[in-house]
Amino acid sequence: MNRLVAPRFPCALVLAACLLGTVGSAIAQAWPAKPIRVLVGFAPGGSVDLTARILSAPIGEALGTPLIVENRPGASGNIAGEAAAKAAPDGYTTMMSSGGPLAANRAVIANMSFDPQRDFAGITLAAFQANIVVVNPRVPAKTVADLIRIAKSAPNKLSYGSAGVGSVQHLSTEMFRALTGAQMVHVPYKGGAPAVADLVAGHIDVMFDTISTSIRFVQDGKLRALAVTPMTRAAMLPSLPTVDESGLKGYEFRGWIGLVAPTKTPAPVISRLHAETTRALGLPDVQKRFAELGFDAPAPMAPAQFDAFMRDEATKYVELVKKAGIKPE
């Protein structure tokens, strides 16, 4: 007599799922048991560093453990990127970064030691940020049209600074150069803050810098602002035109900053970090600080949504690099 025998494999799958759920729950309950690192690939004082420091205190308070910001500047953010990619996926290493190490660098830097899409799990987008076109006051440019005229009449006489190859400062300036034919010498730094310091000192002439890094020097009269790079004017500088309004039709550039962890970091940890970062982004004090830095309204995304966003941004930057004729270094 034939007997029906329940298949064993589906039962094994159910048991495995139950065990994974139990393990995930245990991880979520035990974590965090020590401080969490937040790696930043740029020098202190820049927009990424400021974002990390503003958010670390409220997130750490909610988690009951400090978040330690650790600056590892150099290689256009890739020194920190490599360290984060190779860190143990145990929830104790994260990275706050701009779109350079997370999306753009693969298009402009040859032989990278990590793959952002493979090696990182998105936690959330933290903010969008506009760039501002600023010059040292000794440069006789009062408008974007003046800057184009000067750069074209004396090729490579003007120099521009950036936070490194693939940074928002670099790519936004290269887009400008490609659209106008202006020729300027690129001087990369280990972050936006040291580049701006040299711009104020007159060692370089121009930057398409993040508003958060340059605004205080504009307000103090140490730098002259010509325009902002998005299609809409900045709320904190309503009288300053956009590059598009200044005559370079179709020009638009907007950077972003987000938080990631090494891939294979446990899902419950990613979920908790996402929840606490989103909560922190909604705090009035954080929103006030972001507004003072010229960031757009905080823009949290679900982890899967942020992963998809970074993939789309990587594709966009490849197209931009090809259009601008930038050769990988």
How far is 325 from 175, CA to CA, in rounded Å? Answer: 9
Model confidence pLDDT, tens digit, residues 221-272: 999 999 999 999 988 899 999 999 999 999 999 889 999 999 999 999 999 9
The SS3 of residue 108 is helix
pLDDT of residue 293: 87
| Cα Rg of the chain, angstroms | 22
Separation CA 61–CA 276 (nearest Å):
10
What pLDDT, on the 0 to 100 scale, is given for residue 17? 46
Identify the pLDDT of residue 272: 98
| Residue 8 C-alpha from the chain's centroid | 48
Which residue ranges in the chain fall short of pLDDT 70? 1-29
Query: SS3 of 48, please?
Result: helix
C-beta separation of 326 from 174 below 8 A = yes
Whether this prediction's pTM lies above 0.85 is answered by: no
Domains of the chain: 34-128+255-324 (3.40.190.150), 130-228 (3.40.190.10)
